Amino acid sequence: MRTNVKKIQRHTPAEAEFWIFILGDMLVFGIFFTIWSVTQLQKPELFSQGHALLNHHFGLINTVALVTSSMFVAVGLNDAKAAQFNRAKRWFKLAMVLGGVFIVVKFLEYREKILADVDVVNNDFFMYYFVFTGIHLIHVVVGMIALLLMVNRCNKINAGAGDIPFLEGASVYWHMVDILWIVLFLLIYLI
Amino acid sequence: MPIQVNNLRALQIKTLMVWCILLVSTLGAWLWMERASTAVTHVILASIIGLAGMKVALVIAYYMEINHAPRWLQALCATWLSVVFGMILLCYLKPEWVRPLFGF
């Protein structure tokens, strides 16, 4: 009796070596998440006070912006793989707009805290808040550069299948930035 | 080889559906916590953490395309997800188990 088994075509998005960097970065942020979670156990009142001082609307706007920009990148990559590079380019530009929204909102949030004179040196909540979200913000800025390079790749007259590994790699990086923010949003703003 | 047009449409719809789930769970969790404020039970905490874990899993599987990745990469991503969210659940739901590990 013959059985037809549908084999899934397995594919590593981007170069396999690039994942050493991605997983390494995720590991580092995993350590940040542990530090945050354990410190809030040590100083629950301090973290409760700090949590109450945060602008939760900014946190929500930033999460919606990053999640939506991730969607735009995924949609754009699908278009690029279907050789629709002009359409892909538009999606990547939209993703950049939302990345810009994230950066502006983060700037406004930091400004709000600085003007409120929060004690970064002696207050562990705000020290970790600025360090972890600051390092994440640097990742967002690097991601914006990657998105710009993706737009440039799609702009090439002879854009084709050879450009897909780069587009995949940059997309994976942007999605990593998104998932790290989802966890930061959970720990810093929600719980 | 480019994706076939009918497959592309199906793929885009799937991507959009994942985004809808991400958006609804983000708004839902935020509203839930804003309303709960001082009355946050273990059930609510576990649900909020679980929702975040689900969101991360969806992005990894469908946006990073790990659902079609080689087993080694799926295993590494699944391990990261399990360890991170397992740690968060432990710290927030069973702090008495975690405190001795860190000497306080």
- Which B residues, 1 through 30, put their C-beta within 8 Å of a C-beta on chain A? 1-5, 8, 11-12, 15-16, 18-19, 22-23, 26-27, 29-30
Q: Return the minimum-mean-pLDDT range out of A17-21, A148-152, B2-6.
A: B2-6
Per-residue pLDDT reduced to its tens digit, B47-97: 999 999 999 999 999 999 999 999 999 999 999 999 999 999 999 999 999
Ordered DSSP codes for A166-182: HHHHHHHHHHHHHHHHH
Please judge whether A8 and B68 are an interchain contact, meaning their C-beta atoms are less than 8 angstroms apart.
yes
Residue A85: strand, helix, or coil? helix
- Which B residues, 43 through 102, put their C-beta within 8 Å of a C-beta on chain A? 45, 48-49, 52, 55-56, 59-60, 62-66, 68-71, 73, 76-77, 80, 83-84, 87-88, 91-92, 95, 98-99, 102
Structure tokens given for A176: 């990593």
Contact status of A82 with chain B (Cβ, < 8 Å): yes
| Whole-number pLDDT of residue A120 | 85
pLDDT at B46 over 90: yes
Neighbours of A128 (CB within 10 A): 20
Per-residue pLDDT reduced to its tens digit, A95-122: 999 999 999 999 999 999 999 988 888 8
pLDDT at B1 over 60: no
